[in-house]
Structure formats: C-alpha cells, structure tokens
Amino acid sequence: MPRIFRADHCGSLIRPNELRAARIARLRGEIDEAELHRIEDEAILGALDLQRRAGLGIYTDGEFRRRFWFSGRSSHATRLVFVCGDWPRAISAAT
C-alpha cells in the first residue's frame, strides 16, 4: 500500500528572479507601477500553472504582490521602527 503524505500550503511561494529584479527596478525608479503590475501578473500566471500541473486542487497567487511578509501588519502597529540595513528606505519606497 502506498504511503499517503499530508502537506499544507500557506500561500507564499518563492518569487521568480524576474519579479525580484522588477521590484528592485521599481524601487530605483527604472520602471513604473504599471510595468511592475504586468510583471507580477506574469509571475502569478506562471505560479498558477505550476500548481495546476502539480495536481493541486486549490491554487494561490503565491502572495507575489506582497512587498514583505509583514505587509499589512505594520500599519496596525504604533512606534514601529525598522533598523536593519536599508530596510527603512526600501519599505517607505515600496509601500
């Protein structure tokens, strides 16, 4: 009898290099928000296709539009300061 394994998927997928490069280009002002959105759309369609081909019954967009894992949470916090490298600058430019 074959073994049956259970796995849960929480939503986040590893972002493709093209999307990561586009995020950096957006922060530098090299592309506009519409171009970033187009690249996000392409990456999401690729992620959906990958999940479909893998036989998953439920798909996720990979959370490819989220800037950071804590997106949406920091707006509910008060006196929140990021002190890691270039993060304060990157966060303010990306949000």
pLDDT on residue 35: 98
Confidence (pTM) = 0.65
CA end-to-end span of the chain: 51
pLDDT tens, residue order, the chain (95 aa): 676 766 666 668 889 999 999 999 999 999 999 999 999 999 999 999 998 998 888 888 888 988 765 555 555 666 666 565 555 554 444 44
Cα–Cα distance for residue pair 92/90, rounded to 1 Å: 6
Contact indicator for 80, 95 with CB cutoff of 8 Å: no
Cα–Cα distance for residue pair 95/33, rounded to 1 Å: 11
* Helical pair 87-94 and 17-27, crossing angle rounded to 10 deg: 90
